[in-house]
Structure 1
Amino acid sequence: MTNVALCACPDYDEANVASAVERAVTLCGGMDKFVRPGQRVLLKPNMLSAAPLEQRVTTDPSVVRAVGQLVLKAGGRVIIGDSPAIDKVSRISRVTGMTEVAKELGADLIEFSRPTLAKTPRGSIYQALELEQTVLSADVVINLPKLKTHCMMLLTMGVKNLFGAVVGPRKSQWHMHAGDDRIMFADLLLDIYRTITPALTILDGVWSMQGRGPNNGTPCHSGFLAASCDPLAMDLALAPLLGAHRTSFPLYGAAVRRGFAKPDGADLRLIGDDPNTLIPKDFQLPVLESAMMVPGFLSGLMRKHLTSRPVQDPMLCQGCGKCQQVCPPGSLKLMQNRRAVIDHLTCIRCYCCQEVCPADAIHFKTGALVGIIERLRSFF
């Protein structure tokens, strides 16, 4: 039985966050359980992009501060790090206030840049993964995700946040390999999580993101923090509370199939505050467009018309070029008139362009095959 602690936290007032974080960590056994004097402790927040805090794209620095203070009290040495998709950690930190928090904690604030081959544990799909050396060499990893929706993986919480341990350019390579199949990508996330094995995960759900996350959704006041020794347990416990049927959550399907979770969730236990008084009842999940592979004989032109595909709204485009930079197969080119030319024959439907667009100018158009499948489902 794995405990998942829920603690009310109404806002980002420093005292309220410190109190909620301390209570959540205490419910998990206390920081002394995870950190010993002199240990190097990596705090891994979500630092996706340099968006203002009010957009709720990144882990709030007040949560990082409160966790870091508990680490220092336990005698640990703090490191804060991530590998954002496009923006630099230095810029994100200036915009969000993470720079000041790092100074307060006396912490090194780093951008992951040293990929190192790590052997994965028994039962993994991949025998080895290239992950950030700082993550692998830290004495303790504390995972600090942001509660957000995700247009490809439905939700991004504890396990998905660890994808940040993949160093920048390697992310595109993995999207090329596994990014057009949700279950395959979920398997990759599970292998990363089992290789890193964070000691503690604390989820920032004070304000979350709903709708078209993880970068273009809308802020949602959720009013809680969650904590667990196991990020997978936390994710699977929270998903149904947020309105996600377990079978629609790709991470759940992969975890059950590989024997890492029980189908009925009987191995999970919520402790702390009553979730019925915390979790928003109308949390808006994204509509998952098709990311499925089509049979080989449907490749090429038929794939273009039968499966969902990205489309751009040039009226919303800011011309920043992030979509072109992040596209793994190089299928998207942004022209000088701010119109995107997308080669749908080579596009792998990985959602990277939609994820990094700061203007929400890229959407996915449902393909004919997906439309037929969805209409058929409505009859059963």
Structure 2
Amino acid sequence: AKVALCACPDYNPDNVASAVDRAVTLCGGMERFVRPGQRVLLKPNMLSAAPLERRVTTDPAVVRAVGKLVLKAGGRIIIGDSPAIDKVSRISRVNGIKEVAVELGADLIEFCRPTLVKTPRGSIYHALELEETVLNADVVINLPKLKTHCMMLLTMGVKNLFGAVVGPRKSQWHMHAGTDRIMFADLLLDICRTLKPALTILDGVWGMQGRGPNNGTPCHLGFLAASRDPLAMDLAIAPLLGVHPASFPLYNAAVRRGLARSDGSGTQMVGDDPSQIFPKDFQLPVLESVMPMPGFLSGLIRRHLTSRPVQDPDLCRDCGKCAAVCPPESLRFVAAHRAVIDHLTCIRCYCCQEVCPADAIHFKTGALVGIVERLRAVMPY
């Protein structure tokens, strides 16, 4: 697989257009992916209605540049997502994507029509409920934002397609996976293989480090990346951010299933020199104790050993989003700005932290973590 890496210093429209055009050209040109009259679904990351300077969502300059190439190739554009927080209508007003949609003459939609679809041969899950609009599009172009993720370490091309899972079904999948990050990675891989995006273009001009994907720190990275293969792109970019492959759930799941090679071979990086772009001090989320536990530990013990969410009442805005998104309904408010979390039923999916607009959900390290860390070093799991 080919992964194109192109330097882009900022979101100046001309700079973004030039970098997008170069990256897509290195992948074969937009005409290779889009034919006249085709319906083209652009899938940006629209997690929440956060100001652009927080770098939570795909920048509208990237959506505009890609959309113009699609129009030039004769495609008809749809822009859509199923956000974890807020509505597409509000998010798109705040981050400028609504204005871009009007400029491009694109339909802007919120995914709300789940449709059961069979997955490809070799999938872990034999069928999935995914958004009908995405399934019916002639071409899917995936437009992720490079961010850290407190459960999956990073969110890029493959993780962005989880947005094709509609609304409350996201919570159902978190309930199913619980603390098993490899199981969740398997789901993400099956979604990606089912949707088969024709092209993935990663917004890495500004990314997010630390406690992503919603409450991390903006980080200037200065690049765009493009590939026909979102998995190959993710696995090529992760080491450049200082990620050890064994700590990346997506890598572990993909190698185990034969979807990627453990030595990273088979991927060709083209374009600009990564050593001239990537920072040396990118901050990954520190959540050591959410790593998989030895198999002999019971579910109850495993929950006591994993990092658990705690609320800071002083930061809470009383919006209630954390309680609304909690899959097992373990979090509830007992007074203004004060929530209680039942850590016996909490599944450690960290959705509450992900959706909190005030960064009022933090993590407390589980007991006996040191013992478990030593067990990990000597025992398979």
Residue 156 (structure 1) aligns with: 155
Residue 35 (structure 1) aligns with: 34
Structure 2 CA distance, aligned partners of 1:340 and 1:303?
23
Alignment of 1:292-371 (within 5 A): 292=292, 298-300=298-300, 302-303=301-302, 305-371=304-370
Residue 166 (structure 2) aligns with: 167
Aligned residues: 378
Instruction: Find the residue that maps to 2:78 and give its secondary structure.
Output: strand
Residues 44-66 of structure 1: CA deviation (Å, up to 9, x unaligned): 00000000000000000000000
Structure 2 CA distance, aligned partners of 1:324 and 1:376?
34
AA partner of residue 353 (structure 1): C
Instruction: Find the residue that maps to 1:18 and give its secondary structure.
Output: helix
Deviation for aligned residue 1:306:
2.9
Alignment of 1:191-230 (within 5 A): 191-230=190-229
Deviates more, 1:34-43 or 1:365-374: 365-374
| 8 A contact 2:303–2:347 mirrored in 1 | no
Residue 25 (structure 2) aligns with: 26
Unaligned runs of 5+ in 2: none
Structure 2 CA distance, aligned partners of 1:294 and 1:247?
16
Alignment of 1:238-257 (within 5 A): 238-257=237-256
Deviates more, 1:254-263 or 1:281-290: 281-290
Alignment of 1:172-183 (within 5 A): 172-183=171-182
AA partner of residue 117 (structure 1): L
AA partner of residue 288 (structure 1): L
Residue 127 (structure 1) aligns with: 126
Deviation for aligned residue 1:137:
0.2
Deviation for aligned residue 1:304:
5.1
Instruction: Find the residue that maps to 1:75 and give its secondary structure.
Output: coil
Deviation for aligned residue 1:287:
1.3
| 8 A contact 2:158–2:189 mirrored in 1 | yes
Deviation for aligned residue 1:313:
1.1
Residues 312-355 of structure 1: CA deviation (Å, up to 9, x unaligned): 11111111111000000000002332111101111000010011
Structure 1 CA distance, aligned partners of 2:297 and 2:244?
33
AA partner of residue 16 (structure 2): V
AA partner of residue 257 (structure 1): R
AA partner of residue 32 (structure 2): K
Structure 1 CA distance, aligned partners of 2:166 and 2:173?
11
Structure 2 CA distance, aligned partners of 1:190 and 1:104?
33
Structure 2 CA distance, aligned partners of 1:143 and 1:288?
28
Deviates more, 1:315-324 or 1:157-166: 315-324
Deviation for aligned residue 1:293:
6.2
Residues 114-137 of structure 1: CA deviation (Å, up to 9, x unaligned): 000010000000000000000000
| 8 A contact 2:323–2:333 mirrored in 1 | yes
Structure 1 CA distance, aligned partners of 2:212 and 2:371?
26
AA partner of residue 176 (structure 1): M
Residue 80 (structure 1) aligns with: 79
Residue 106 (structure 1) aligns with: 105
Deviation for aligned residue 1:298:
3.7
Structure 2 CA distance, aligned partners of 1:15 and 1:35?
22
Measured on the aligned residues, the alpha-carbon RMSD in Å equals 1.7
CA 1:375 to 1:337, structure 2 compared with 1: closer, same or farther past 3 Å?
Answer: farther
AA partner of residue 305 (structure 1): H
AA partner of residue 237 (structure 2): L
Structure 1 CA distance, aligned partners of 2:71 and 2:116?
30
Instruction: Find the residue that maps to 2:213 and give its secondary structure.
Output: coil
AA partner of residue 240 (structure 1): P
| 8 A contact 2:294–2:376 mirrored in 1 | no
AA partner of residue 156 (structure 2): M
Instruction: Find the residue that maps to 1:368 and give its secondary structure.
Output: coil
Instruction: Find the residue that maps to 2:250 and give its secondary structure.
Output: helix
AA partner of residue 307 (structure 1): T
Structure 1 CA distance, aligned partners of 2:178 and 2:155?
15
| 8 A contact 2:293–2:302 mirrored in 1 | no
Structure 1 CA distance, aligned partners of 2:177 and 2:8?
37
Residues 33-90 of structure 1: CA deviation (Å, up to 9, x unaligned): 0000000000000000000000000000000000000000000000000000121000
Deviates more, 1:360-369 or 1:46-55: 360-369
Residue 231 (structure 1) aligns with: 230
Deviation for aligned residue 1:278:
0.8
Deviates more, 1:339-348 or 1:69-78: 339-348
Deviation for aligned residue 1:363:
1.4
Structure 2 CA distance, aligned partners of 1:299 and 1:62?
45
Deviation for aligned residue 1:371:
3.0
Instruction: Find the residue that maps to 1:131 and give its secondary structure.
Output: strand
AA partner of residue 229 (structure 2): D
Residue 58 (structure 2) aligns with: 59
Instruction: Find the residue that maps to 1:290 and give its secondary structure.
Output: helix
Structure 1 vs Structure 2: percent identity of aligned residues? 81
